[in-house]
Structure formats: C-alpha cells, structure tokens
Amino acid sequence: MTASSSEIKPLSTPVEEVAQKLESPQDIGFVFDIDGVLLKGKKRIAEATEIITYLSKKKIPFILLTNGGGMTEKKRIDFINMTLQLTETPIHEDQLIQAHTPMKTLIPHHKRVLICGGPKDDVREVAEGYGFEDVIRPVDLIRANPTIWPYHMFTDEQIEEWGRDPASSKLDVDGTGCGENLPIDSVLCFNDSRAIGAELQVILDLLNSEDGVLGTRRTYKSGKPSIPIVFSNNDFLWSNEYKQPRFAMGALKIAVLTIYEKINGQKLEQLTLGKPEKVCYDYAHHILIDWRKVLLGEKQPGNLCLPQLNDPPINTPFKKVYMVGDNPESDITGGNNYNWGTILVRTGVYQEGDFERNPETSRPSLGIFPNVKEGVMAALKLNGLA
C-alpha cells in the first residue's frame, strides 16, 4: 500500500479549475484547516456549522488538518463539536489530524523525550497517550533546578502541580538531588510555546549537550545536534479574535535555528512536520482515504491506519480533493504543491492586499471566498454535486 512520491497519481494541478461531473459524493474529498476556517479563536464561524452538517449528511468525505494542537484529539474534537453545535452530525476524532498527531510514528525511536509547548501540562497527557515511555517537560527541569532559567514565570503552585519530582523525572541537573541525570533522546516541539524563554534555553542546552545530558556541553561545533529536534509545524502566524494575526510555532523555530547557528556556525539539522510540508499531506491523504472507507461501510471508526512518515498512498479513490484554508503560506502552498485543489477563505490569517504585498504568495486554484461554506459549495457545484 505504499510507494515513492513519484508514483502517486495527481488529483489536480494548481491552475484554473475545470468543471467536471463526479459520479458519486465519495469521489470528492475536503481537508479543512480549523483556526480561521471553522473557528475564530474559541468562537464558531456560523457558516462552518452549516457546511459541515451538509457534508456529513451527504456522506462526502472530509477531515480536519490543523497546525494547532496542545491537547488530545478527543478533547479538541469534543470542543469543536460543542462550539460548532454539531449535535446531530458530530465530527469523529478519527477525522482530526493535529500538528503533533503524526509524531505517534516516532515512538519506536524516541523513548525519553522533552515535549515543548502547549497550555499547562496538557501535552504531557497527549504524549503519554500516544505511547511515549518517558515524557519530560520544561517545568520538570525548572523544578529540578530553577537556575536553569531564572526568569521563568511559573508560580510555586504551578511548579508543584505540573512539574515532576526530580526523583521521578531523573533530573539531578546539579548533582545535589536524586543522584540520577538520565540523558534525553530528543526534543519534540508539540505546540505553540507558552514559556518561550525557558523553552529556548533548555532546547539549546540539549542540542549542544553531551549526548542529551543536561548540564553538559559538547566540545565541538556541528550542524548536527547532539539529539534530534522535531517541530510539529512551521506556522509563523495564526488567527484568533485579535484583529491582527499572532505569532505561532514558527517564531520559536526561527529563534532556535538562529541561536543554534550563532553558537555552531552551521545551520541546524531538524525535521519539520505540519502544513505545508509534503510529509503532512501524505499522512492526511491516508487518513482521508480511510475515512471514505468508513462512510462506505468498509471500515469501522477507531480502526483507521497509522501512516508512516514520508509514505504516500500508491493510489487514490478521489477524483478531486480540496484543501480549505485561511493561510496562503501553509494551507494553500501545501495544497498546491500536493496537487490538490485549494480554497482560500477571508475569515482568518489572509487579509486583503496580501498578494500585492508579496507577489510570491501562493494563490488558491479555485479562488478566495468570504467563508468556508461559499468556498465548498463552489467546489461542489463545479463538480456537479450541488
């Protein structure tokens, strides 16, 4: 069921859309971004409720693909269903791919991991739920030795509640505690930073350590870090209720890469998942194909495949797939590069004049629409399904 990227059959090209008549509602698929497309911060976009309900009732396959995360897939999908008021046609958690969802595939090679980002201690629950054996958080390091980042903003209560005891985390950074300071295998940046100063410090400490042992410093400079680092996505901006987009994980990544190169004189070797990377779209393509099988009664929910990274489907049952997003640099670039149709909405990151300000910005193949409902209905009409 796998093949090289050169074997995958293209679905469309990022040029002017051509009308065609599809034979079945299952011949077409949609992949939706969440923030700025379905939700605006913690508020729903009313047209999103209407179109998701319509697609569900028509059994037209769709999934959600977001560079967001920070909580379990079930918690996030429960919040989406509640916020969009999808009581009759709820979205299943199998239809959700968060930025860190593909990190499940890393478990066999990453045992003791530093997980960065996310609110409170929620991403520890996510990582442990995925199956990572030993999950370390920046707050654990601060509990073990507050001088590792003396400017931290955690309260004593938060450190006590969220941070693991050094005897449990095996983080005797200064040699005065539990007597163990076990090496960390890798750094996994799951979600947008809530403590960017502390995370920058400990990430760079580990990337330049002796084999992942905190408190040590390697004696050589290299573009290859002492332990691997994986970013769940490259988004520089995201959209919430504020009138201008806010910084996202891409800002942390830029800082890590810049400081690492300043220290080593060489660019950092790293892996980035999420949109617009092809690895993300390969993963999503597998999930969309599997969800189509659920709608056709060929598979049961909860039993979808776990695609491997950089492992595209050999073939696709879809004659047309559309990526629907609000961010030209991630949603539209990724969809165009993957030969999917693309729909850009005006309810999120994209703002009037973006293409004039940056003529190299990726343009959607189908067009720009006021909201997700109008964009999807245009695609369905173009393909004879509405």
* pLDDT tens digits, 198-244: 999 999 999 999 999 999 999 999 999 999 999 999 888 877 788 88
Q: CA–CA distance from 181 to each of 138, 174, 208, 254, 384 (Å)?
A: 15, 9, 16, 29, 63
d(CA 373, CA 1): 34
Domain layout of the chain by residue ranges: 1-9+73-80+95-99+278-311, 102-272
Q: CB within 8 A of 109, min separation 6: which ones?
A: 185
Say what the pLDDT of residue 273 is: 94
Q: What are the per-10-residue average pLDDT scores of the chain (386 residues)?
A: 37 56 88 95 94 97 94 95 96 96 91 93 93 95 93 94 92 78 95 93 97 94 97 85 86 96 97 93 96 94 86 92 94 95 93 83 93 97 91
- What sign results for the dihedral spanned by CA atoms 298, 304, 307, 312? positive
- Residue 325, C-beta contacts closer than 8 angstroms, at least 6 positions apart: 32, 33, 36, 37, 275, 331, 332, 335, 342, 343, 344, 345, 348
Per-residue pLDDT at 3: 37
102-272 sits in which CATH class?
Answer: alpha beta
Q: In the beta sheet, which residues pair with residue 114? A: 136, 187
Confidence (pTM): 0.85
pLDDT of residue 92: 97
Closest listed residue to residue 56, CA positions, set 81, 83, 23: 81
> What is the CB neighbour count within 10 angstroms for residue 317?
15
Which residue pairs from 209-216 have beta carbons closer than 8 angstroms and sit at least 24 positions apart in sequence? 211/183, 212/183, 212/184, 212/185, 212/186, 213/181, 213/183, 213/184, 214/141, 214/148, 214/171, 214/173, 214/181, 214/184, 215/173, 215/174, 215/181
The separation between CA 361 and the C-alpha centre of its own chain, rounded to angstroms, equals 21
Beta-carbon contacts of 276 under 8 Å, excluding residues fewer than 6 positions away, are 234, 329, 330, 331, 333, 334, 335, 337
Looking at residue 237, its pLDDT comes to: 81
Q: What is the pLDDT of residue 9?
A: 40
> Strands 367-369 and 271-272: what pairing?
unpaired
